[in-house]
């Protein structure tokens, strides 16, 4: 019965190889069918530009057809049991001398019978030197692969020579509800500046990069409040076009057009030039001076030494950061509002300073005007006696009038006259002083 076991093992090996060959052939057909459907969709999209409903319907057709074929022709055979009689018929087609005998062996219900042994011995003699691979349906694999190669080659040729983007059409077919643009012979690959923010009065440089069919002209169509205009770009290199807008004065939207392609809309927002529009200095003098706090807005600010100075700037745009620069040192300022900032200073000597800031759009202002802060030192009081003159002679026992003046930078709190008659003891006479008076005229009769 050894012949029976050997023949059964041979039939099982043919069955395994046949299953693999049929699955591989079906998979090649699945790839060819899928690629053919995709190629048809790409060609149709290039020809008419499928709208969303058509793309959705085509995607449903593609998915249903491909998945059904995959399930029926590829997955199902993996779980289908091939019978030994089926494999016997495959062998008999290649070896006509076994016609009928091998099939009869495979269909015998009793493989232990002498008839089975005789049929097995006859079949093994004819199969001597043969491999199970010789009887697998290799023609199906070759034919299916050839079909796949033809479809793949057609797809590659169309992709190479089509002026329109095959990749874009594939994306539109596989994502049917997307807002991807219709493929065009000319493809715009880049638009600069795109969406941008520029300073008022600055030049705006447009640059458009294209691929595919060279356009006859490249345009930028602008739309702004009250109208619009067209900017024609000049070729500066193959596939590269440029133009410049001399000065941007108002925000605008724009589209780029090249041949049958367009891109946009993009928006250029014109931002006001950041500038320090006003500077005020709030001065708080020392209490002892009696000087009330005051404000200055000029370029030269004088104040009592020891004063605290609050420098406040007002800006044309919203402040993100601000600095005061003095003697090469930069000190950050504190934001006090959308368009203002504050720095507290205590200069002990004259100093020149200026201000800069960065706004919330990221633009930095130019340096402000230069301001000069001059602290005034507290000088000692000045007192002068004008009458009587020094060394003057006066009559005995006659009234003597004394005249003079006194002054101080920050006011006089007390004033007294001290005198001695004929070498006698010194007399101290308090004189009246108006409150916070900085200068007084004094007169006394002795």
Closest CA to 182 of 41, 54, 46: 46
Q: Is the model more confident about 419 or about 45?
A: 45
pLDDT confidence tier of residue 120, bands split at 50, 70 and 90: low
> How confident is the model over 150-164, as pLDDT tens digits?
999 999 999 888 888
> How confident is the model over 202-252, as pLDDT tens digits?
999 999 999 888 888 999 999 988 888 999 999 999 999 999 988 888 999
How many CB atoms are located within 10 Å of the residue 212 CB?
21
**What confidence score (pLDDT) does residue 14 get?**
66
Decide which of 3.90.1170.40, 2.30.42.10, 2.60.40.10, 3.40.50.1260 is the CATH code for 186-271. 2.60.40.10
Sheet holding 276-284, edge to edge: 294-296, 276-284, 308-315, 340-345, 334-337
How many CB atoms are located within 10 Å of the residue 3 CB?
17
Residue 349 has pLDDT above 70, yes or no: yes
> How confident is the model over 26-46, as pLDDT tens digits?
888 888 999 999 999 999 988
Question: CATH 2.60.40.10 spans which residues of the chain?
Answer: 186-271, 276-376
- Least confident residue range of 204-208, 327-331, 392-396, 417-421: 392-396
Would you mind telling me the total number of residues written for the chain in this entry?
446
276-376: CATH number: 2.60.40.10
Residue 439 has pLDDT above 90, yes or no: no
pTM: 0.54
| Under 8 Å between Cβ of 123 and 47 | no
């Amino acid at each position: 019965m050894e012949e029976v076991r050997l023949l059964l093992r041979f039939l099982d090996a043919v069955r395994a190889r046949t299953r693999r060959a049929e699955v591989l052939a079906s998979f090649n057909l699945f790839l060819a069918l899928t690629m053919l459907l995709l190629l048809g969709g790409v060609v149709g999209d290039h020809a008419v530009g499928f709208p969303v409903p058509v793309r959705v319907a085509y995607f449903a057709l593609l998915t249903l057809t491909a998945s059904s074929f995959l399930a029926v022709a590829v997955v199902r055979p993996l779980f289908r049991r091939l019978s030994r009689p089926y494999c016997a018929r495959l062998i008999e087609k290649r070896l006509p001398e076994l016609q009928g005998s091998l099939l009869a062996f495979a269909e015998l219900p009793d493989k232990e019978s002498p008839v089975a042994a005789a049929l097995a011995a006859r079949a093994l003699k004819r199969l001597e030197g043969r491999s199970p691979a010789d009887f697998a349906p290799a023609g199906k694999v070759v034919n299916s692969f050839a079909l796949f190669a033809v479809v793949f080659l057609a797809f590659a040729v169309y992709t190479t020579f089509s002026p329109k983007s095959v990749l874009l059409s594939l994306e539109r077919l596989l994502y049917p509800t997307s807002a991807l643009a219709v493929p065009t012979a000319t493809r715009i690959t880049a638009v600069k500046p795109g969406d941008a923010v520029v300073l008022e009065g600055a030049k705006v440089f447009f640059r458009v990069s294209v691929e595919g069919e060279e356009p006859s002209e490249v345009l930028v169509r602008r739309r702004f409040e009250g109208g619009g205009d067209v900017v024609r770009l000049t070729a500066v290199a193959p596939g590269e076009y440029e133009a410049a807008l001399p000065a941007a004065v108002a925000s605008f939207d724009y589209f780029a057009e090249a041949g049958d392609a367009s891109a946009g809309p993009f928006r250029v927002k014109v931002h006001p030039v950041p500038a320090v529009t006003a500077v005020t200095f709030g001065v708080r003098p020392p209490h002892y001076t009696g000087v009330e706090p005051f404000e200055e807005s000029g370029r030269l600010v004088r104040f009592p030494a020891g004063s605290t100075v609050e420098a406040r700037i007002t800006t044309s745009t919203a402040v993100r950061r601000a600095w005061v620069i003095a003697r090469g040192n930069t000190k950050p300022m504190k934001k006090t509002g959308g368009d203002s900032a504050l720095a507290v200073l205590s200069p002990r000597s004259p100093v020149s300073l200026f201000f800069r800031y960065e706004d919330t759009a990221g633009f930095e202002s130019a340096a402000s005007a230069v301001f000069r802060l001059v602290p005034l030192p507290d000088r000692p009081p000045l007192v002068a006696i004008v009458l009587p003159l020094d060394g003057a002679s006066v009559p005995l026992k006659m009234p003597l009038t004394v005249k003079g003046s006194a002054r101080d930078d920050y006011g006089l709190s007390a004033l007294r006259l001290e005198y001695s008659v004929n070498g006698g003891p010194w007399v101290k006479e308090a004189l009246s002083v108006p409150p916070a008076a900085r200068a007084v005229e004094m007169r006394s009769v002795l």
